[in-house]
Amino acid sequence: MHWNKIILVVFFGIFLVGQLVTSAIYAQDTDSGSESKESNGWFDMDLASFIGILVAIGTSAIGIIFQVKEHQRARRERNLSIVEGYSNQLTELKNKESVLKTKKDCETYAQSYLDLMDQIAYLCANGRGISKDVRDYFENDFAYALTLIWWLKNKELVKEESINGFFNILEEKPTEINITKKNFEDKSFPWYDLIHWCLYEEGEKKVILPFDNDQLPDAMSNYNDLHEEDIEGTLEVVKGYGEKLNELSRDESKLKSALEWELYATSYLDTLDSIAYLLRKNIIPKGVDDYFENYFAYGLRMIIWLEEKKLVDKIKIVKKQNNESAPSELSCEKWLKTANMDIDREYSWPDLLNWCKKKNIEPYDNEQLPQKMIDAKPKKMRKMIFHKGNDSLLRVN
């Protein structure tokens, strides 16, 4: 604001006019002794005073107009600067939509966008910094921000009770989001200023409604199918497991004794169980599971082989309420064909079996195993319990 400069010019003009008028009165008093000169003096002084007053008024008017123009120009420049600054930040954020790959990426993007729009909403309210000329420029950004808040709530990433019931989606229009609660006074909510501004209606300012949820980036729409962390990091994990499985497979031709076959099968299954755990927790990216499908099928056949050789116990079943008829244990082949029977977590490879059942992976045929492994005689073998994370083996005769 430049009103202080305008006021200064006005007072200067008034001061100048006052000085000129005072000078005219003083000149009248000093020349009153001569009647012949009185009329000429009055004429001359009145004309000079009049011209001086006009000059002073004109100067003041020009100064005021100049200051008003300067103020308008400065306000336009400030508004343009505000729009440009926030627009650049919003554009930078929106450019990240195409590179959202993980759940963490989507969450960070939504929170960063909402934090920025909350700042803009605070400045828009009550003339705190953004003028009315600029507010309408951000209307679509506010609508999109409300959609992001709905997305966070829908994914249970915002758990404040005050947001419950705030949004509504009609069954006949599954992409359309409606606001069902207009009174929002929870100032502890992370983006209170944003919501309050969007619901605020006064004069020409209307309530801002969210966009439909089909306006969200593809990654956010497919959030549940994304993995948690960085793709490159998880691919390195996948590569490491793949190399370990290939290394184990290459050692098959070197195995001779029954004990070596048992240790080989146990190490192979432990590796597969670790991979299955990462897949079930969605840490390994979607689509990579197909790479391991053949390994899983081979692993299931190994479990069946261990059961046939009586080197592992059968699968223990966790009985559910009102299901007393369920067996306490099943073979691997029978368990894969049953439904709604949970595995006891004490079983050696629960994640492997649960993942294979979820993906309907069938075990390989028996002939896929090495012939030496098939021919191994149980009486020449010892039952072994392999402890994960420990190279030691407990042999049981």
**pLDDT tens for each residue of 274-287:** 888 888 877 776 67
What are the structure tokens assigned to 354, written together?
A: 């649960």
C-alpha–C-alpha distance, residues 202 and 184, integer Å: 16
139: pLDDT strictly greater than 50: yes
Q: What is the helix (H) or strand (E) element at residue 107, kind and residue range?
A: helix 103-124
246: pLDDT strictly greater than 60: yes
| Residues 1/55, Cβ–Cβ less than 8 Å | no
Looking at 104-108, 367-371, 388-392, which range is the least confident one?
388-392
151 phi and psi angles, rounded to 5 deg: -60, -45
Task: Quick: pLDDT tens for 144-186.
Answer: 999 999 999 888 888 777 787 788 776 667 788 888 766 777 7
3-state percent breakdown (helix, strand, coil) of the chain, nearest 5: 65, 5, 30
Q: What is the helix (H) or strand (E) element at residue 318, kind and residue range?
A: strand 315-318
**pTM of the predicted model, to two decimals?**
0.48
Q: Name the one residue in this structure whose structure tokens are 């072994």.
A: 384
Question: pLDDT averaged over the chain?
Answer: 75
DSSP designation for 367 = G
Of the chain, the percentage scoring pLDDT greater than 70 comes to 66
Please name the amino acid found at residue 152: L
- 191 HSE (CA, 13 A, CB side): 28
- For the segment 182-192, the average pLDDT, to the nearest whole number, is 80
Please name the amino acid found at residue 210: P
Of the chain, the percentage scoring pLDDT greater than 90 comes to 10
Looking at 101-105, 227-231, 292-296, which range is the least confident one?
227-231
Which residues sit opposite 66 in a β-bridge? none
- The pLDDT of residue 181 is 65
386 phi and psi angles, rounded to 5 deg: -100, 125
C-alpha–C-alpha distance, residues 361 and 100, integer Å: 31
Task: Quick: pLDDT tens for 50-97.
Answer: 666 666 666 766 667 766 666 656 666 666 677 777 788 888 888 888
- 126 HSE (CA, 13 A, CB side): 4
375: pLDDT strictly greater than 60: yes
Q: With 0-12 CB in 10 A as exposed, 13-18 as middle and 19+ as buried, what is 232?
A: exposed
What are the domain boundaries of the chain?
3-92, 100-224, 231-396
- The pLDDT of residue 72 is 59
C-alpha–C-alpha distance, residues 277 and 280, integer Å: 5
Please name the amino acid found at residue 101: K
| Residues 137/131, Cβ–Cβ less than 8 Å | no
